[in-house]
Amino acid sequence: RPRVLSGIQPTAGSFHLGNYLGAVRQWVALQESHDAFYMVVDLHAITVPQDPAELRSNTRIAAAQLLAAGLDPERCTLFVQSHVPEHAQLGWVMNCLTGFGEASRMTQFKDKAAKQGTDRTSVGLFTYPILQIADILLYQAHQVPVGEDQRQHIELTRDLAERFNSRYGDTFTMPAPYILKETAKIYDLQDPSAKMSKSAASPKGLINLLDEPKVSAKKVKSAVTDTDTVIRYDAENKPGVSNLLTIYSTLTGTSIPELEQKYEGKMYGALKTDLAEVMVDFVTPFRDRTQEYLDDPETLDAILAKGAEKARAVAAETLATTYDRLGFLPAK
Ligand code: ATP
Ligand code: MG
C-alpha cells in the first residue's frame, strides 16, 4: 500500500469548512487505500503564541474532530506530532540543508509575517515549512493530501528529498501533493477572493464546524454573491456563487451541473436557504460525535498513545538511516 502523511494544526479549537473539504475529507477516503499517517501538528502551532492550557485542550479537540470526521484508528495511524521527537530532530537536519533564499520565497510565510509585523514574527514561523519537510520525509510518504495553499511547501519538500538523496545516497521517498481540484481552495463566504482561514478579517465568512449550527446557517444565508441572478458555476466571474456550489456539491454528493439544473430560474436566496439546511445536517452530527470523544479523554489519549507508538517505529528508522548517512558517530 502506498503511504500518505498529513497534519492539521490545533490552533483554533474548531476546524473550519476549508480544513474539512480541502484536507480532512480526503484523509478519511485515503485510509481505505493507503497506509495512512495523520497527525495533530502541535509543534507547528507554537510558531505563533499559544496559551498552554488552551493548546493542550485544543490538541484533544483536534484529535476528537478527526475521529468524528471518520478517521478510524484501526485503519490509520493518528498521533500528536510532539509525541514523536524525531520530527524536531530531522527538522534540524533539513534546516541545515535548506537555503535561506529558498526558504524566504515561501509565500505563506510572507503573507503571515506581513500580517503580524516582523517584530512579532518568530523564526519558527519562518522555518515551519522546513519542519514540514521533515514531517513528510520521516514517513517516506508517497502522497500528501492538503489544500492548494500547501503546494509550494510540498514542492520544497521534493527539492530537499532530491538534494539529500543525490548528496548522501537514496534515503527518502519522493512525495507528491494530493490536491483535489474541486475543493483545493474553499473561499471566505464574505470575501470570495480570499481563502477561508482561521485568521480571516471577519468571522462572518468563516464556517467553524463546532459552532452552533444556527450560527453557521446564518453565515451561509448572508454569504456574498454578485449582482447577477443566474446560479451558474463560473469561478472567475461568479466566485461567491461558485464557492457555494462547490460546498453544496461536496457535502451532498450532487454534481455541479445537477445543481445548476435544479436551481435554473431560481434566486440566490433559494440556493442559500437549501445550503444552510445542508450545513446544519452536516455539522449537527459532527459536533455530537466530537463531543462524545471529548467526554471520554482516557480512550482518546489511549488512541493517540497507540498512534504515537506506531509512528515512532517508522520515524526512528528513517532518522537512524539519515544520521548514519550524514556521518554522525553512533552512540555506543
Ligand atoms: P492557518 O491559517 O493558521 O495556516 P489553516 O486554516 O490553514 O490555518 P492548517 O492547520 O494550516 O489550517 O491547515 C490544515 C489543512 O487544511 C491543510 O492541508 C490546508 O491546506 C487545508 N486548508 C486550510 N484552509 C483551506 C481552504 N480554505 N480550502 C482548502 N483547504 C484548506
Ligand atoms: Mg495553514
Q: Going residue by residue through the chain (332 aa), what tens digit of pLDDT does each one get?
A: 999 999 999 998 999 999 999 999 999 999 999 999 999 999 999 999 999 999 999 999 999 999 999 999 999 999 999 999 999 999 999 999 999 999 999 999 999 899 888 888 999 999 999 999 999 999 999 999 999 999 999 999 999 999 999 999 999 999 999 999 999 999 999 999 999 998 777 799 999 999 999 999 999 999 999 999 999 999 999 999 999 999 999 999 999 999 999 999 999 999 999 999 999 999 999 999 999 999 999 999 999 999 999 999 999 999 999 999 999 999 88
At 4, give phi and psi (nearest 5°): -125, 150
- Kindly give the interhelix angle for 297-326 and 123-138, rounded to the nearest 10 degrees: 90
**Distance, first Cα to last Cα, the chain:** 35
Provide the 3-class DSSP secondary structure of residue 140. coil
* Residue 47 is assigned to a ligand binding site: no
User: Given this model, what pLDDT does residue 250 score?
Assistant: 98
The catalytic residue among 198, 204, 262, 310 is 198
Q: Are 130 and 89 in contact (CB under 8 A)?
A: no
Residue 247 among known ligand-binding residues: no
Give me the catalytic one of 112, 204, 221, 310: 112
Cβ 61 vs Cβ 286: under 8 Å: no
Q: If you search the block for the grid coordinates 521533515, which residue do you land on?
A: 134
> Cβ contacts of residue 309 below 8 Å, gap of 6+?
none
Q: Pairing between strand 35-40 and 3-8? A: parallel
d(CA 42, CA 9) in angstroms, rounded, equals 6
Measured between alpha carbons, how far is 16 from 184 in angstroms, rounded to an integer?
14
Sign, CA torsion 105/108/113/114: positive
Decide: 22 in ligand 1 pocket, CB within 6 A. Answer: yes
Other beta carbons within 10 angstroms of residue 325's beta carbon come to: 16
pLDDT given at position 119: 85
d(Cα 237, Cα 243) in Å, to the nearest integer? Answer: 12
| Atom of ligand 1 lying closest to residue 187 CA | 27
pLDDT at residue 45, rounded to an integer: 97
Asked if 195 is an active-site residue, the reply is: yes
For 234, the 3-state DSSP assignment is coil
Res 291: pLDDT: 98
Count helices and strands (H / E) in the chain: 14, 5
**How far is Cα of residue 266 from the mean position of the Cα atoms in its chain?**
35
Structure confidence at residue 260 (pLDDT) = 97
DSSP state letter for 235: T
The pLDDT score that the predictor gives to residue 13 is 92
Distance 18 CA to ligand 1 centre (A): 6
112 close to ligand 1 (CB < 6 Angstrom)? no
Q: Is 10 annotated as a binding residue?
A: yes
**Residue 198 near ligand 1, beta carbon < 6 Å:** yes
Whether 161 contacts 140, CB under 8 Å: no
C-alpha cell at 254: 450532487
CB of residue 19 inside a 6 A radius of ligand 1: yes
The answer to whether 221 is a known catalytic residue is no
Q: Please say whether the beta carbons of 317 and 289 come within 8 A.
A: no
pTM of the model: 0.97
This model of the complex carries an ipTM of: 0.98
Cα gap 187→195, rounded to integer Å: 4
- Please say whether the beta carbons of 15 and 62 come within 8 A: yes
